[in-house]
Amino acid sequence: MTPLLLVVNHHIMGIISKFVSNYHTLSPSSLKEFENLFQKKNYKKNDVIYRTGESTSRFFILYEGLTRSVVIDKNGKHKTRTLFNAPAIFASLFSSLNNEPSVAEFNCLTDVILFEGNFLKFIELTEKHHDISILYNRFLEEAFINMEEKATILSTLDATERYVHLKNKIPNIENLIQLNHIASYLNITSIQLSRIRKKMFSQ
């Protein structure tokens, strides 16, 4: 391996190690096996990571940028289901676990740098290493909490409150993605969002 490749690989491993440390501490041997699952990928804004109906066993650590999962309603309209702002981890668990077509599309709202791994190999590591099994549980706990939080927000907050909550999480979001994507995530129309923004910024 050339010195340049060694430097690149150490950089990648450092990024993944730092990400993992936010969830659970792995032993050096477990961390190395986990890091070896990944390859660095670069995507451009509007690139599709994978499409609705595609079976996939991939999962991703988002290092830079903003991605989303999108579902298509009965009228053929694209609805933003989830926003992923770096650093984050995401996957189509249903597709990965059941070898079934994904019900969602995952695409890039900005230029993106991420690390792509094989989910089935990750599951094999959870059966081999207890600390990686705990890491997997922490990932699932975070996913469940995020889903519960969004369900609560949609059912208890009005449109303005939902927008404020999103702004608190990603303050510069209007500078990153189109307003119609924000509106879709908030489950409101672009016109409603424009009215909310106009009222807020005129105060």
Question: Contact 113/42 with Cβ under 8 angstroms?
Answer: yes
Q: How many CA atoms lie within 13 A of 60 on its CB side?
A: 29
CATH of 3-139, one of 2.40.160.20, 2.70.210.12, 2.60.120.10, 1.10.540.10: 2.60.120.10
Q: Which two tokens stand for residue 178?
A: 């189109």
Tokens 């830079």 locate to: 64
| pLDDT tens string 56-111 | 889 999 999 999 999 988 888 888 989 999 999 998 887 777 778 888 899 999 99
The mean of the pLDDT values for the chain is 89
> pTM value?
0.86
| Straight-line distance from the first to the last Cα atom of the chain, in angstroms, rounded to the nearest whole number | 60
Interatomic CA distance for residues 109 and 39, integer angstroms: 21
| pLDDT tens string 162-178 | 999 999 999 999 999 99
